[in-house]
């Protein structure tokens, strides 16, 4: 350990000789070189800054690994050591250490953490604006993409928002940005995340209601893929006892057999987090594979949930009633007459005003 000049030990040189040698180190000299330290135990001089903060390698052994005890040349050795680049770097490192310790400067870790927090905040602000644009387009039922990405509705609206907001404007104008969050893939991921969040809230409300009804229907899309819509109907007590019918999502069916569809409905509800034992009704169209009393989907579900009473879809019942009643000539004539009257008023400004 480096010790400053102090009480002498028994095995040290005579006090008179040491005092003579130390007389060369006047107070003026120590003030001129404040990094010097004199150790009585080793009878030598050290550079305390280099000894503690030397991490770049030692250019000179003197004053660090090898203390200086050549008292006759101490002035020349001191000046030579002070001109070393490693010594200058160690002085700067020690001053920075003291400043950080006394809270005069922020540490490197703090600066890096602050920079990281600023980047996270900026990225969140940018992402918030992008998500807001996607939600607005979805609510207004406007197509997100166009023939090209640059001329899509999404980019047009985002650039309009950026005119009055410097955060997304700087992000869009930055050619060095590694991630823009504007690609179709990112758009789809953000839409899926928003959909999952909405579905989670619907499921929470459905679970609070204790009981619910399942409504499902299947159709073939343009790609000849069998798509099944899954909806729930429940009483929302948090909104003044309002009956809600909410779409949970679309799932793909491998086939339309009764057992496959029944398992698909129940597995999907469980996957979304709904307690299927709370089902008290199930509603489908009148197709045989759905409404069959013995082998239909409703029969398979009632085997697992006896309380799930089957109810024929009212919209399908109305449609069937109109189709069957249209076989009568009077009904067909009445429907045609009502249609002509509606068209007449709808497309005539004069009649509509009068």
Give 319-349 pLDDT, tens digit per residue.
Answer: 778 888 878 888 778 878 888 888 877 776 6
Laid out side by side, the sheet with 242-252 consists of 242-252, 226-236, 212-220, 279-284, 309-312
Tokens of 128: 């918030």
The predicted structure's pLDDT at residue 172:
82
What pLDDT does residue 57 have?
Answer: 55
Residues forming beta bridges with residue 217, ordered by sequence position: 229
> What is the predicted pLDDT for the residue at 84?
77
* Cα 301 to the center of its chain, rounded Å: 39
Global confidence as pTM:
0.58
Q: What pLDDT score does 349 carry? A: 66
Q: Which of 276, 284, 228 is nearest to 256 (CA)?
A: 228
pLDDT of res. 269 = 93
What are 155-201's pLDDT values in tens digits?
889 888 888 888 888 888 877 677 788 888 899 999 999 999 999 99
Q: Write out residues in the chain with pLDDT < 50, as ranges.
A: 1-20, 23-24
């Amino acid at each position: 350990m480096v010790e400053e000049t102090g009480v002498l030990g028994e095995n040290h040189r005579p006090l008179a000789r040491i005092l003579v040698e130390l007389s060369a180190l006047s107070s003026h000299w120590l003030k001129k070189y404040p990094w010097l330290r004199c150790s009585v135990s080793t009878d030598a001089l050290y550079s305390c800054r280099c000894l503690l903060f030397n991490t770049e390698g030692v250019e000179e052994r003197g004053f660090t690994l090898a203390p200086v005890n050549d008292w006759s040349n101490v002035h020349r050795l001191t000046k030579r050591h002070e001109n070393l680049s490693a010594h200058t770097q160690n002085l700067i490192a020690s001053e920075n250490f003291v400043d950080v310790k006394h809270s005069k400067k922020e540490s490197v870790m703090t600066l890096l953490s602050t920079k990281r927090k600023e980047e996270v905040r900026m990225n969140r602000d940018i992402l918030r604006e992008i998500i807001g644009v996607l939600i607005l387009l979805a609510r207004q039922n406007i197509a997100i993409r166009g023939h090209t990405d640059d001329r899509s509705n999404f980019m047009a609206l985002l650039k309009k928002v950026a005119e009055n907001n410097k955060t997304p404007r700087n992000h869009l104008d930055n050619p060095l940005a590694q991630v823009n969050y504007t690609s179709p893939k990112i758009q789809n991921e953000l839409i899926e995340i928003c959909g999952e969040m909405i579905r989670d809230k619907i499921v929470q409300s459905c679970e609070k209601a204790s009981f619910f009804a399942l409504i499902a229907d299947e159709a073939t899309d343009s790609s000849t893929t069998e798509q099944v819509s899954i909806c729930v109907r429940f009483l929302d007590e948090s909104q003044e006892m309002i009956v809600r019918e909410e779409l949970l999502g679309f799932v793909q069916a491998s086939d339309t057999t009764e057992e496959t569809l029944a398992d698909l409905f129940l597995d999907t509800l469980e996957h979304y987090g709904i307690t299927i034992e709370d089902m008290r009704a199930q509603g489908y169209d009148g197709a045989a594979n759905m409404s069959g009393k013995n082998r239909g989907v409703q029969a398979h579900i009632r085997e697992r949930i006896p309380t799930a009473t089957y109810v024929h879809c009212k919209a399908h019942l109305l449609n069937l009633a109109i189709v069957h009643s249209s076989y009568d000539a009077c009904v067909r004539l009445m429907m045609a007459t009502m249609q002509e009257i509606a068209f007449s008023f709808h497309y005539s400004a004069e009649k509509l005003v009068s």
